[in-house]
Structure 1
């Protein structure tokens, strides 16, 4: 099958832009490994993908994230199967998400969403949000991004946290509450780095920013992942399935989508900002070692490359079975 992946490579903004680019590249590798002919097509301001699509003549066009202001009218001229993946509905994107009452008129007037044969969302929360926004439920498919498997490790006694050291990520709130003597590795940099270093006990190590491959290699040797973020009310970070791939259970703080996912998957524990952190860590110390294999199983079933490829192939096959020839 010939598949075109359309995405604004390098044209997105915000802390999740690089993750979005890497997710599309990972999916291209997965589809290619499954035997499909994959073409990456750049789109964005001043980049109309229609001519490139017509030259490639794919069986399926799968649009991922487009930068705000990107042209979308070309979708009305494409007659072949069209899939659109929507981002998780977090507050940072609220100003341009395709809600019916949004500034662009939303799903009813957006030419890309109006034309899409199927809309892919990354979580059940995303499905609920976009259904409320006006997308027909029968056109929505939940399909989380996949992440590569990681090497096995028995783990250790050091916790890990990763993210931008900035307001909203809550890593400052985490490290200033972190119990002295408990070891924590923090990956990331940002404007609050000096404040975080000053507030943290000596048992917290700040390891700077690393690329995702290096972070994935580092995860398996830790006790568990701490997810303190609470400003991304609608998102589960990509770090979550990466931790599961490494066999790491998750300690999630209330106030985001992560606790709901952790509870549903049975992949860790949840605590609140008003609860004693030392007690939450003690409870996790008792149960997390026994959860490592379960976390790997959840990754393989929900977020693994083979599982993702099988699900997306079923989606593509369903759409191409009755589709007219591409232009």
Structure 2
């Protein structure tokens, strides 16, 4: 099978798990014997031009801009797998591509100009509920700016998005995400749930655990880190690995039992994960089990997550952690009693659901369904 992956890479100045996931998937497909081509646009390259902000805004607002068609025509893939077109690829080309097409929903960009269905640290579905992006414009949901939100507001079509309507199959990361895209108008029968994975080359050993709690991620409002640190009880050690716009605010409310490490390398994060009692996942947006949670359970480290993030229900359903309550101290006390006994089970769940092989088998099934759907359409 020949598969072309199309992806617009976000700026390296804002580290993106989505960029990392695409690179991991490309490598995994190659190891599985799939002939692949990555057709990409990179913000790092394009923003060297002083006119880039204007050009990117026009591309997003109008859907016109760079296309992968020439590269795709030369490669002649069996399946085109679109990961992300924002902000560097146009969108109109998808109507002109006649072969099997898979769209990957890494976030909620098609439903929410802010991309996360969150605002001010809470879930927000105002645009989705109203079928209009006027709320996003009113709140300046993209980077806190109405001007920067405007191109996204103009391009948002919810379930009528050109990529979603053209795609033979759509990949969602969780059942909750599948439900939200279906609610927007994408037929649920065309949406497959395929979670992320940890590459076979990067699976850690099961760690011994320890006596501290660990947070890994951006220090930004939708992650819930400010509230977590503000409510963190004294007498328990919390290690925070990450950086972001809330770094100063988090530092201001942190007491002596909260250790702020800043950005850490992947090797440093793995070492921290192996020695943690548990991972805290206080996200306030519609996140499932992201890469950091998968890395934790692969290392045998259970996860304490809070609603409304779907991760809270997922860790309970899989038996790899607990859903926390508003009483942080009580949640930690319950987790401290249970988590040391879950380490082996966490690894077993990882092996059953989140390995590279499981992902490859699942995505190849999606590609087959896309090819069948495309063939049926052309009969």
TM-score of the two chains, using structure 2 as the length reference: 0.76
Q: Deviations over 1:115-151 (max 9, x none)?
A: 2110111100011111111111211101111123222
Counterparts of residues 25-174 of structure 1 (less than 5 Å): 25-43=23-41, 45=59, 46-68=65-87, 70-89=89-108, 92-93=114-115, 101-102=131-132, 103-104=154-155, 106=157, 109-148=160-199, 149-174=203-228
Distance 1:167-1:10 versus aligned 2 partners, 3 A rule: closer
- Structure 2 residue matching 1:93: 3-state secondary structure: coil
Aligned to 1:4: 4
Counterpart selection for 1:20 from 18, 21, 29:
18
Higher helix fraction: Structure 1 or Structure 2?
2
**Conserved? CA contact 2:320–2:346, under 8 Å:** yes
Q: Is 286-295 or 68-77 further displaced after alignment?
A: 68-77
Query: Matches of 1:154 and 1:210 in 2, distance apart?
Result: 20
Aligned to 1:262: 315
Query: Matches of 2:74 and 2:155 in 1, distance apart?
Result: 30
**Conserved? CA contact 1:61–1:81, under 8 Å:** yes
Aligned to 2:122: none
- Structure 2 residue matching 1:201: 3-state secondary structure: coil
Distance 1:211-1:40 versus aligned 2 partners, 3 A rule: farther
- Structure 2 residue matching 1:224: 3-state secondary structure: strand
Distance 1:30-1:288 versus aligned 2 partners, 3 A rule: same
Distance 1:199-1:11 versus aligned 2 partners, 3 A rule: closer
Aligned to 2:237: 183
TM-score of the two chains, using structure 1 as the length reference: 0.87
Aligned to 2:329: 278
1:308 aligns with 2:359: yes
State the 1:211 CA deviation.
3.8
Query: Matches of 1:258 and 1:108 in 2, distance apart?
Result: 24
Q: Deviations over 1:177-203 (max 9, x none)?
A: 222231221001234334433432322
Query: Matches of 1:6 and 1:211 in 2, distance apart?
Result: 27
Query: Matches of 2:158 and 2:222 in 1, distance apart?
Result: 29
